[in-house]
Structure 1
Amino acid sequence: MFSGIITDLGRIRAIKPGGDTCIEVETGYDTRTIAIGASVACAGVCLTVIDKGKGWFAV
């Protein structure tokens, strides 16, 4: 079970469909502090960060 503090409200930047759908999320949060492989709660669902850049991350 994920229990944490909500620190930001993101916006869907892109959805890349396929066998493994990838969702990119824009955020004001400092993504330098998010590790690849980290768990992030999105709408109550715990997802794994697979990529990131300045102002966005992908799950």
Structure 2
Amino acid sequence: MNSTLVTVVGHVASDVRYATTANGVPVASFRLAATDRRFDKQREVWVDGDTSFYTVWSCS
């Protein structure tokens, strides 16, 4: 099995939902908002780009 590690920095954009599967495995999920930010050399200011939303889930 291959795996890829991805790091996204952002803000939690929803309530965290907790549940347990039929097999008794605890799971959690939430939405994460991450906005691209870059320095505009011409204007000498930081500017925000587009915001991307991700659904994050975890299970034990």
- TM-score scaled to structure 1, two decimals? 0.36
Whichever of the two has the greater Rg, that structure is 2
TM-score for the superposition, normalised by structure 2: 0.36
Higher strand share: 2
